[in-house]
Amino acid sequence: MLSDLKLVIRLQELDSRVGELEAEVAALPRHIAEIQKKLVSHERKLEADRAALAANQKERKQREGEIQAQEQKISKLKDQMLQVKTNDQYRAFQNEIDFCQQEIHKFEDRILELMSESEPLDRAVKVAEEALKAEKVEVEAEAQTARERTDKDRRALDELRKERGAIAVQVTKPTYQRYERSRRTRKGIAVAEAVDGRCTACQMSMRQQFLQDLRKGEQIMVCESCQRILFYNPPVPVEDLDGAATSAAPR
């Protein structure tokens, strides 16, 4: 196989791997931001439930205080009633006491309502607190894993770029330019294998003559349809498979 061809095949492997790693490095912070956003929304929900519970308890205390005030008022009215002289006065006091008792009933009803509301809130807060604790641990662990993964990816990228640089300078200029042009215009894939008379990248069938020339492997040839650099891998004969390391297809 032409040395240029071997080199661009390797370049393609390296560039594809670089592309994958770069995509991963870019995706990891997005993933972490997403799970952190979810955590924050759960924290907000918990805060809202806690606030609702606090408001509930505050109102309950307030209503209890109001009941107490009404009870004190009633006992004062009852004291004053002992000194009344006329039936009208008596009735007036009695009316006032009745009114206070009605108020007390209203407050008691409201307290019952508040109690029935506070039970599910209280449960929700406790459940959410537990869940949030677990979620925080999980998010931190995932963020740590992502940081480690990113570091590892960056080191691998450095290595790949170093190797790429060393290979790129060995490729003849026209082949390199052809490679780079195809890589830019063909979504990063500049080199394609020919299998069963077809370009495996664009699936276009090749003319017989074209295929014969490609098999000879004497020149860099590009797919007539997608312009990618083509290579042809003859099947490896069975007797050569023992020495796989030396005779295996370069891909």
Note whether 227 and 184 are within 8 A (CB). no
Least CB distance to Zn ion at residue 14 (A): 21
- CA–CA separation, 66 and 45 (whole Å): 31
Residue closer to Zn ion by CB (options 93, 210) is 210
Residue closer to Zn ion by CB (options 144, 203) is 203
Tokens representing residue 39 in the block:
């955590």
Least CB distance to Zn ion at residue 233 (A): 16
Beta bridge partners of 192: 230
- CA–CA separation, 209 and 200 (whole Å): 18
Least CB distance to Zn ion at residue 223 (A): 3
Long-range contacts of 118-123 (CB under 8 A, 24+ apart): 118/53, 118/56, 118/57, 118/60, 121/49, 121/52, 121/53, 121/56, 122/53
Least CB distance to Zn ion at residue 186 (A): 9
Q: Which residues of 151-168 are buried (b: 16+ CB within 10 A; e: fewer)?
A: eebeeebeebeebbeebb
CB atoms within 10 A of CB 79: 9
Residue closer to Zn ion by CB (options 116, 209) is 209
Least CB distance to Zn ion at residue 168 (A): 23
Residue closer to Zn ion by CB (options 56, 227) is 227
**Positions in the binding site for Zn ion (CB under 5 A):** 199, 201-202, 223, 225-226
Least CB distance to Zn ion at residue 238 (A): 30
In Å, how far are 7, 89, 173, 213, 231 from 201, measured between CA atoms?
19, 104, 24, 19, 12
Note whether 43 and 133 are within 8 A (CB). no
Residue closer to Zn ion by CB (options 16, 225) is 225
Residue closer to Zn ion by CB (options 121, 230) is 230
- CA–CA separation, 155 and 122 (whole Å): 50
